Structure 1
Amino acid sequence: MSGICEGRVVVVTGAGRGLGRAHALAFAAEGARLVVNDLGVGLDGTPGADSPAGQVVDTIRTAGGEAVAHGGDIATSEGAASLIHTALETYGRLDTLVNNAGFLRDRMLVNLDEDDWDAVLRVHLKGHFLPLKQAAAHWRAEAKAGRTPEARIVNTSSGAGLLGSVGQGNYSAAKAGIVGLTLVAAAELARYGVQVNAIAPAARTRMTERTFADTMAAPTTGFDAMAPENVSPLVVWLGSPASAGITGRVFEAEGGRITVMEGWRPGPTVDKGTRWGAREAGEAVLKLLEEAEMPGPVYGA
């Protein structure tokens, strides 16, 4: 029986380790041909000594699949263009883009350097935008030429982007931005046959060692709820034709749990019909808050 991504060409960024690696292997197992992107940097974004993308490609090829490595910096226009060009030059098409690359530079806000803010926003948010832009331009051209694709983009947000996370102001801001980018891209690109969704995964990776310190150890028996491979089936499905009609959504995924996240929407409201006084507005707000649902707690608070 063929896989649900048989014949599709899938690009995964940050696919050398952790979630990205798990996604790439899962797509390959479902028949996809892969472009495995990884810059090979350390947890904080500094250059690493090995080539994890090449290792993932070797694993896929050994299992009988097709894959090529890409080591460019996808947070640059040149690197993002090269990424999409690699898929088109190697396989002649592009079907799915999974934006996953990222790293951490955690600090409390008063200790957070401007460089650490810029670096994390750059790799997460800009590193989503530029590959998305390049892929979307290709798919728009295809649609205008009468070859409307069944294209998919899966972005990677985080619970930190949905609720906030103490000590991760830069990361939380970037991941929240990815949700906004996902919603806009889903609305703008639907006419070209492109669906755009996001996941907020929780899994054992280099990036989450401190965040999930109390639950990181893999169990000796039974189901390993923190394994990154648990998240990948949802990503593969979202990246396949089987997800037709699903766009502009955010899903939380952890272990065996999948949750549809419901974002900002109007809650209790009051309209005076004219301008409020400051004291009067405050009294109205206090009454509204009594009726409103409490937000989820910030991670680490």
Structure 2
Amino acid sequence: MASFYGVSGRNLQTQYKDFLSDFKVWDQLPHAKKWLLFPQNIGKRLSIDETSLSNGELYTILTNKSGKGRKGAIVAMVAGTKAETVIGVIEKIPLQQRNLVKEITLDMAGNMGLIAKKCFANATRVTDRFHVQKLATEALQEIRIKYRWEAIDQENDAIEKAKKSKVNFESKILSNGDTLKQLLARSRYFLYKAKTKWTQNQTERTALLFELYPDIQKGYNLTQELRNIFENTKDKIIGFAKLAKWHEKVNQSGFKSFGTISRTIMNHYQTILNYFDNRSTNASAESFNAKIKAFRSKFRGVRNVEYFLFRLTTIYA
């Protein structure tokens, strides 16, 4: 618009902020950088998560699922992630309104659990299944990375040995054209996927990978089994039984990283099992975080955080 009228974009933005918009009389302006609160947007089903606005600075954001990422979605935004700070802001919402909340989804961070417990005493806390699955995927990738470093070390040893023997070094080429090091590096992305979503090349690469590294196959199977429990189970009691069987398989595998995940699930089993009641996740919060990042990219170069928050809440609060 600025180029159409032949004026400076920055000047136009300044004029809009200072004179055309309601920014100067915004009722949240005095404390916007520290917290924002929209009690009228509270609903029965909420999500709580953290997001980065600029320079890696984190904000805790509380959203209403029924807002569906549009107008009325934001209930509160608080600078930082300290539980006592966030609780102090959210408790500004009358207790009668907060007691109407029936469910709140969150990750396994202790501060998020404390915030939800203190502020919404009547709400069922539901641990987001995708955070649990992400831990399993990271454990699988840890096994792959360990073998990749070993392959790199082996290749370096072979190169140094060849130099001492004054012979040319040639990497061993596998049947699909990869070297061992390449096989382990290129396997990263499809290990996140279910087998049904692999391409023909990925299926061929996986067969080689699992043949050479059975531990990676075991880790992959454990990851997929955990995902299947969440995707295909609708009863809490059955979900509990399946997670118990998965725990036994993890113990038998001997994988330390998967053992850590299993212990984490046991320590949060009540809120994890609550997922099976309504199959609620924090996907709406993650989607809203993506919208914030996209919105932020449009305001790249704008240094006034309060103005950015004003424009953001104009659309989503």
TM-score if structure 2 supplies the norm length? 0.28
TM-score if structure 1 supplies the norm length? 0.29
- Indicate the structure (1 or 2) with the bigger Cα radius of gyration: 2
Higher relative contact order (CA 8 A, sep 6+): 2
